[in-house]
Structure 1
Amino acid sequence: MKIGLIGFGKTGKAVASVLLQNKKFSLEWVLKRNATLENRNTAEYLGIDSDQAGKIYSSSTTSIPELLDNQPVDVIIDFSSASGIYTYGEAASERKIKIISAISHYSNKEKDFLKSLSKLTTVFWSPNITLGVNYLLFASKFLKKIAPWVDIEIIEEHFKGKDGISGTALKIAETLDLEKEDINSVRAGGIVGKHEVVFGFPFQTVRLIHESISREAFGSGVVFVAENLTDKKEGLFNFEDILAPYFAL
């Protein structure tokens, strides 16, 4: 499966590392905003022994249509920014390239744009693309279904400097029909990401916790999603669509 990666920050680099070491995938190119590292080889830059090229391009000098035509891919993985979808979305959908977006926050405008793109190609979006977090979402949802009256609090912890409430925490709150006020945020040190859902029952508590030890967890999530989108046609998908069949079994 040929992959194009958009966004090469800390998480993008970790995702590239996982893809480069997976024989089922070929990282064809990486697209980043500025010209730093332009024309470098991703594997060489990350110090990974890989036969994949993974050439680094800059959107300031290379147009998306040109890149997609000269180096076609099966899937685009987006770890850039909320506005990134506008730079490649139409060109990718017109070429029937699958889109996997791992952007934490989208406004209603971007969400509507994703829906429009999904009429032409397969589009997947998850504010947190780690498998563990999405398993936590499922487990939390089922526990609340068993005891809809239970007290629930959400705690999210991230690295110092992360702006706003995490998209994952907001997704958990939405799934459990909670308000933003039920989310407790902590910002400190080198925390990668931790989400905890506390269920307060009479005389007992249940805590479901997911903690990202390394950003490579996002790469593993990307691999899982890409493999499960192989047979999907046009449409907008999320993790629930992918995980539901497994829970049915």
Structure 2
Amino acid sequence: MKIGLIGFGKTGKAVASVILQHKNFSLEWVMKKSSTLDNRNTAEYLGIDSEEQGKIYSSGTMAIEKLLDEQPVDIIIDFSSNNGIYGYGEAASERKIKIISAISHYTKKEKEFMKSLSSLTTVFWSPNITLGVNYLLFASKFLKKIAPWVDIEIIEEHFKGKDGVSGTALKIAEALDLEKDDINSVRAGGIVGKHEVVFGFPFQTVRLIHESISREAFGSGVIFVAENLADKKEGLFNFEDILTPYFSV
């Protein structure tokens, strides 16, 4: 499966390294804003032994339409910014290229744009694309269904420079019908990402915790999603759509 990666920050680099080392996927190219790494080989830059070129391009010097025509891919993975989808969305959907977006925050405008793209191709979006945190989300929903009266608090911890409330925490709150005020945020040091859901029962407490040890976890999540989208047609999908069949017993 041929992959194109949009965004090459810390997480984008970690995702690229995972894709480069997976035998069933080929990283064809990386697109980023800055031209500082133009025409560099991704594997060489990351110090990974790979035969793949994975050449790096700048959006300022390479038109996305030209790139998609000259180096076609099956899936575009987006780890750029909330407005990045406007730069490649239409070109990708017109060419029936699947889109996997791992952007934490989207406004109503971006969500509506993704929905319009999904009429032409497969579009997937998750604020946190790690498998573990989405399993936590499922387990939390099931526990609340069993005991809808339970007290619930959400704690999210991230690196010191992260702005705003975690998109994942907001997603958990939404799924559990909680308010933003029920989210407790911690910013300290270089914490990659930790989410905890605390269920306060009379005489007992249940805590569901997910912690990202390294950003490569996002790469593993991308691989899982890509594999499960292989047979999907046009439409807008999320992790719940992918995980639900696994919970059938």
User: TM-score per shorter chain, which class?
Assistant: over 0.9
1:83 aligned counterpart, secondary structure? coil
Q: In the alignment, which residue of structure 2 is the partner of 1:158?
A: 158
Question: Does the residue aligned with 2:165 lie in a helix, a strand or coil?
Answer: coil
2:94 paired residue number: 94
SS in 1 for 2:83: helix
Q: How many residues align?
A: 249
1:188-229 Cα distance to aligned partner (Å, 9 max, x none) = 001000000000000000000000000000000000000000
> Per-residue deviation at 1:169?
0.1
1:72 aligns with 2:68: no
- In 1, the alpha carbon distance for the partners of 2:80 and 2:27 equals 16
1:110 matched to 2:110? The reply is: yes
Amino acid of the residue matched to residue 72 of structure 1? P
Q: Deviations over 1:122-168 (max 9, x none)?
A: 00000000000000000000000000000000000000010000000
RMSD over aligned Cα atoms: 0.3
Q: What displacement does 1:31 show?
A: 0.2
Query: d(CA) in 2 for partners of 1:180 and 1:106?
Result: 16
2: distance between equivalents of 1:58 and 1:37?
8
Deviation at 1:36, TM superposition (A): 0.8
TM-score between both structures, scaled by the size of structure 1: 1.00
- 2:26 maps to 26
In 2, Cα distance between the equivalents of 1:200 and 1:29?
A: 48
1:235 maps to which residue?
235
- Structure-1 separation of matches of 2:184 and 2:220: 27
Matches of 2:107 and 2:5 in 1, distance apart? 22
Cα distance per residue 1:158-181 (max 9 Å; x no partner): 000100000000000000000000
CA deviation digits over 1:96-120, x for unaligned, max 9?
0000000000000000000000000
C-alpha separation in 2, matches of 1:95 and 1:202: 55
Percent identity, aligned pairs only, is: 86
Q: Distance in 1 between matches of 2:51 and 2:179?
A: 48
Alpha-carbon distance in structure 1 between the residues aligned to 2:118 and 2:134: 22
Letter paired with 1:146: I
Residue of structure 2 equivalent to 1:63: 63
Letter matched to residue 220 of structure 2:
S
Task: Show the 5 A alignment for 1:118-197.
Answer: 118-197=118-197
Structure 2 CA distance for aligned equivalents of residues 68 and 111 of structure 1: 23
Q: Following TM superposition, by how much is the alpha carbon of 1:77 offset from its aligned partner in structure 2, in angstroms?
A: 0.1
Secondary structure of residue in 1 paired with 2:84: helix
Please state how far the C-alpha of 1:121 moved relative to its aligned partner.
0.1
Q: CA deviation at 1:54?
A: 0.3
Kindly report structure 1 stretches of 4+ aligned residues shifted beyond 3 Å.
Answer: none
How far does residue 27 in structure 1 lie from its aligned partner after superposition? 0.1
Residues 1-16 of structure 1 mapped to structure 2, 5 A cutoff: 1-16=1-16
Alpha-carbon distance, 1:9 to partner: 0.1
- The one-letter amino acid paired with 1:183 is I
User: Which residue identity is paired with 1:228?
Assistant: N
> Aligned partners of 2:165, 2:247: CA distance in 1, in Å?
29
TM-score, length-normalised on structure 2? 1.00
The one-letter code sitting in structure 1 at the alignment partner of 2:205 is T
Query: Partner letter of residue 211 of structure 1?
Result: E
How far did 1:86 drift?
Answer: 0.2
